[in-house]
């Protein structure tokens, strides 16, 4: 590592633990240039054909989108795509790109990119507000076309380097994160985002060290500078001194040794010092995490977030393909349970389908069970797939974003219909499959008693429960300081939920990030939570923490917590107990 430049530390928020060393690669905002390469004379027609196909594909996509929007919202709304379609049919544009391929002997996506950039520059420089507005349409359609180029030779890659590096980006969407090339990206840091965004959650489950909400602008960081990314403290250290490198290398070794120690608990049960059993399960987003679930010593999967798998490709997988994946989860987790959460599209995740207008408030919009209950055919397809897989292991079905009883009844009705159909078709399934709901909206927590009579379990989604209780967008770093897991209102809602469940004889889990927070474990044990579901990375230390706590002491402390008036008071009570019980696990 090069150590001759000035060491600079940029602070951000720790997004995913781990330390990475390597050169930086910066991706700024906006649509970036595709790779450029020279083509031979013979390749000109091939490149022109690739360009034609990309345009055709984009046209088909936009046509479909327009039809879809017309069906949903009417003809007027569909017209917003006319401007986009006109761009694709513009003769001057087509001629210029084809000419650029011939004259410059460059690959077609780069020729297209260069021509579009020229157009855009010219439009942005005018004072005409109509033209300025159209620049946004052109920008949008250009990105679509660029995504639609067929890359069937290995000269084309995305423009990330093919050496190991630390990716520094303005922002990464959850789907960008899900498709990160693990061989080359050692860690990432983003200017946007916060610790409870799905981007950060995915980084944790993929085991990629990450920082979110970097201070300053990533444009000021130079590609190829050496750096250390510290996902524990949120520090991005550019051009680290030899001494800093040495300290970090030692630190990293020490952390690895501590993890090895924890691995010894793998086969042990998660039982408090006074014999209270808690089920400790894992959160997963991809089936390739299943071996890690086993290695971590988890007793099942408490949350399989299916949206990343379902929405990752261009088309949603059908019933049989989904059933194959859920069967893989069931078989790998057997005899323990795996809880499959139905599609939770929307919010900061991938939308279920393209929308005519961006939602003004996606977190308060068309998300989770709201999508499933308006797209019943898709919902039923997923339910039938889960039910088919339930013949191969112990599965549970869980509905996200439940806000009240009616949604629970409506969702259960679709489960019942799916069961009836499978029964008639002689397809085996587990008729006793557990059905549960996420409690992540305050209105559902308040109705816990009523909802509990209709389901087999609750899983508290604290990530959303916090955001909806204190009205703080979980991905907005401007208000991240107000996002308080220990806010008294959040804890009281959790208490109402647990009591509602216990009164009706059902169990309660916690699958939000709070379940993996060592400082909060005493509070969760005190609340009487039956199951904790955490990322596999966190699981061994949470097991050790629970095994160091006494349930009766924690529930005694809980009485005080439920009387507390502020978040710091609650945090202090739980943290003190954690300090006393397992100081070696806390940083």
**Which are the catalytic amino acids?**
198, 511
Strand order in the sheet with 13-16: 8-11, 235-238, 226-230, 19-27, 165-169, 185-190, 210-212, 13-16
Token code pair at residue 120: 């855009």
Token code pair at residue 304: 């399989």
Neighbours of 21 (CB within 10 A): 19
Minimum distance, C-beta of residue 522 to Mg ion, in the bound complex (Å) = 24
Say if CB 202 and CB 14 are below 8 A apart: no
Tell me, residue by residue from 152 to 191, as one string, x for binding to ligand PEP by CB under 6 A and - for no binding: ----------------------------------------
Q: Which of 299, 344, 407, 434 binds ligand PEP (CB under 6 A)?
A: 344
213 binds, among Mg ion, ligand PEP, none (CB under 5 to 8 A by kind): none
Give the separation between CA 515 and CA 459, rounded to whole angstroms. Answer: 11
> What 3 state SS string does 515-549 have?
HHCCCCHHHHHHHCCCEEEEECCCHHHHHHHHHCC
Q: Judged by CB under 6 A, which stretch of 316-324, 461-469, 548-556, 558-566 contacts ligand PEP?
A: 461-469
Q: Find the helix packing angle between 376-389 and 405-424, rounded to 10°.
A: 60
Minimum distance, C-beta of residue 332 to ligand PEP, in the bound complex (Å) = 21
Range list of β-strands (E), 337-410 = 337-341, 394-399
Buried b (16+ CB within 10 A) or exposed e, 4-19: eeebeebebbbbbbbb
Cα-based distances in Å from 265 to 196, 433, 462, 506: 28, 30, 27, 28
Minimum distance, C-beta of residue 78 to ligand PEP, in the bound complex (Å) = 32
338 binds, among ligand PEP, Mg ion, none (CB under 5 to 8 A by kind): none
Tell me, residue by residue from 424 to 443, as one string, x for binding to ligand PEP by CB under 6 A and - for no binding: ----------------x---
Interface positions, 18-37, toward ligand PEP (CB under 6 A): none
Query: In this structure, is the dihedral angle defined by the CA atoms of residues 528, 534, 536 and 538, taken in order, positive or negative?
Result: negative
Minimum distance, C-beta of residue 461 to ligand PEP, in the bound complex (Å) = 3
Q: Which of 191, 434, 440, 513 binds Mg ion (CB under 5 A)?
A: 440
367 binds, among Mg ion, ligand PEP, none (CB under 5 to 8 A by kind): none
Query: Does residue 509 belong to the site contacting Mg ion (CB under 5 A)?
Result: no
| Residue count, binding to Mg ion (CB under 5 A) | 3
Q: Which is nearer to Mg ion, 230 or 344 (CB)?
A: 344
Q: Judged by CB under 5 A, which stretch of 77-85, 196-204, 302-310, 459-467 contacts Mg ion?
A: 459-467
Q: Which is nearer to ligand PEP, 161 or 207 (CB)?
A: 207
Neighbours of 350 (CB within 10 A): 18
Q: Which of 23, 461, 522, 540 binds ligand PEP (CB under 6 A)?
A: 461
Q: Judged by CB under 6 A, which stretch of 90-98, 226-234, 455-463, 543-551 contacts ligand PEP?
A: 455-463
Q: Which is nearer to ligand PEP, 235 or 367 (CB)?
A: 367
Contacts of 468 (CB under 8 A, 6+ apart): 440, 441, 442
Give the separation between CA 526 and CA 289, rounded to whole angstroms. Answer: 30
539, 465, 121: which is closest to 294 by C-alpha? 539
Query: Does residue 511 belong to the site contacting ligand PEP (CB under 6 A)?
Result: yes
Interface positions, 476-495, toward ligand PEP (CB under 6 A): none
Say if CB 137 and CB 87 are below 8 A apart: yes
Minimum distance, C-beta of residue 376 to ligand PEP, in the bound complex (Å) = 22
Range list of β-strands (E), 433-580 = 434-439, 457-460, 507-510, 531-535
| Residue count, binding to ligand PEP (CB under 6 A) | 11
Q: Which is nearer to ligand PEP, 196 or 333 (CB)?
A: 196
Query: Does residue 305 belong to the site contacting ligand PEP (CB under 6 A)?
Result: yes
Contacts of 62 (CB under 8 A, 6+ apart): 81, 84, 85, 88, 141, 144
318, 314, 471, 468: which is closest to 400 by C-alpha? 468
What are phi and psi for residue 21, nearest 5 degrees? Answer: -120, 135
281 binds, among Mg ion, ligand PEP, none (CB under 5 to 8 A by kind): none
Q: Judged by CB under 5 A, which stretch of 60-68, 159-167, 411-419, 439-447 contacts Mg ion?
A: 439-447
Q: For 207-355, where are the alpha helices, taking DSSP H only? A: 242-263, 290-296, 307-311, 319-333
DSSP for residue 474: T
Query: Does residue 337 belong to the site contacting ligand PEP (CB under 6 A)?
Result: no
Minimum distance, C-beta of residue 394 to ligand PEP, in the bound complex (Å) = 21
Q: Judged by CB under 5 A, which stretch of 10-18, 211-219, 296-304, 433-441 contacts Mg ion?
A: 433-441
Q: Which is nearer to ligand PEP, 186 or 460 (CB)?
A: 460
Q: Which of 462, 469, 497, 581 binds ligand PEP (CB under 6 A)?
A: 462
Query: Does residue 512 belong to the site contacting ligand PEP (CB under 6 A)?
Result: yes
Q: Which of 461, 509, 522, 526 binds Mg ion (CB under 5 A)?
A: 461
DSSP for residue 210: E
Query: Does residue 47 belong to the site contacting ligand PEP (CB under 6 A)?
Result: no
Minimum distance, C-beta of residue 281 to Mg ion, in the bound complex (Å) = 16
Minimum distance, C-beta of residue 457 to ligand PEP, in the bound complex (Å) = 14
Minimum distance, C-beta of residue 562 to ligand PEP, in the bound complex (Å) = 21
Token code pair at residue 242: 């030899």
Applying CB under 6 A, the residues found at the interface with ligand PEP are 201, 303, 305, 344, 440, 461-464, 511-512
Applying CB under 5 A, the residues found at the interface with Mg ion are 440, 461, 464
């Amino acid at each position: 590592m090069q150590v001759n430049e000035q060491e600079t530390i940029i602070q951000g928020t720790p997004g995913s633990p781990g330390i990475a060393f390597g050169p930086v690669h910066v991706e700024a905002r906006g649509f970036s240039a595709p790779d450029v390469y020279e083509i031979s004379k013979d390749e000109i027609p091939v490149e022109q054909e690739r360009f034609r196909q990309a345009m055709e594909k984009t046209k088909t996509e936009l046509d479909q989108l327009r039809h879809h929007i017309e069906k949903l919202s009417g003809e007027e709304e569909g017209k917003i795509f006319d401007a986009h379609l006109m761009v694709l049919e513009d003769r001057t544009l087509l001629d210029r790109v084809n000419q650029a391929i011939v004259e410059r002997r460059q690959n077609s996506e780069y020729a297209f990119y260069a021509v579009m950039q020229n157009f855009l520059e010219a439009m942005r420089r005018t004072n005409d507000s109509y033209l300025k507005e159209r620049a946004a349409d052109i920008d949008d359609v250009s990105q679509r076309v660029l995504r639609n180029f067929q890359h069937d030779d290995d000269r084309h890659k995305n423009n990330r380097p093919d050496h190991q590096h630390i990716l520094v980006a303005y922002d990464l969407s959850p789907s960008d994160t899900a498709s990160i090339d693990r061989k080359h990206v050692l860690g990432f840091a983003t200017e946007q985002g916060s610790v409870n965004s799905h981007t950060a959650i995915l980084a944790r489950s993929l085991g990629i060290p990450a920082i979110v909400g970097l201070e300053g602008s990533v444009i000021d960081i130079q590609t190829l500078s050496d750096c250390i990314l510290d996902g524990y403290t949120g520090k991005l250290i550019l051009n680290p001194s030899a001494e800093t490198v040495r300290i970090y290398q030692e630190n990293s070794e020490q952390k690895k040794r501590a993890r090895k120690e924890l691995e010894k608990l793998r086969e042990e049960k998660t039982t408090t010092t006074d014999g209270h059993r808690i089920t400790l399960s894992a959160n997963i987003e991809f089936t390739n995490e299943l071996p890690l679930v086993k290695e971590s010593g988890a007793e099942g999967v408490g949350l399989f977030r299916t949206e990343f798998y379902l929405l990752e490709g261009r088309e949603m997988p059908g019933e049989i393909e989904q059933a194959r994946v859920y069967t893989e989860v069931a078989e790998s987790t057997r005899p323990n349970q795996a809880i499959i959460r139905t599609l939770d599209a929307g919010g900061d995740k991938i939308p279920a389908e393209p929308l005519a207008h961006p939602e003004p408030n996606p977190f308060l919009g068309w998300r989770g069970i709201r999508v499933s209950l308006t797209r019943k055919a898709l919902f039923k397809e997923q339910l039938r797939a889960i039910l088919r897989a339930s013949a191969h292991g112990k599965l549970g079905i869980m509905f996200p974003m439940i806000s009240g009883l009616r949604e629970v009844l409506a969702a259960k009705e679709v489960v019942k219909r799916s069961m009836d159909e499978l029964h008639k078709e002689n397809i085996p399934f587990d008729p006793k499959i557990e059905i549960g709901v996420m409690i992540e909206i305050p209105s559902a927590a308040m109705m816990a008693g009523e909802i509990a009579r209709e389901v087999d379990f609750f899983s508290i989604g604290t990530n959303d429960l916090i955001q909806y209780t204190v009205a703080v967008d979980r991905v907005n770093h401007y208000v991240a300081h107000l996002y308080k897991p220990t806010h008294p209102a959040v804890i009281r809602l959790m208490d109402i939920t647990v009591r509602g469940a216990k009164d009706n004889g059902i169990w309660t889990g916690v699958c939000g990030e709070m379940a993996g927070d060592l400082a909060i474990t005493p509070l969760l044990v005190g609340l009487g939570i039956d199951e904790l579901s955490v990322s596999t990375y966190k699981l061994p230390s949470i097991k050790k923490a629970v095994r160091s706590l006494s349930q009766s002491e924690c529930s005694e402390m809980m009485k005080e917590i439920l009387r507390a008036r502020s978040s710091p008071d609650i945090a202090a009570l739980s943290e003190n107990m954690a300090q006393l019980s397992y100081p070696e696990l806390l940083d």
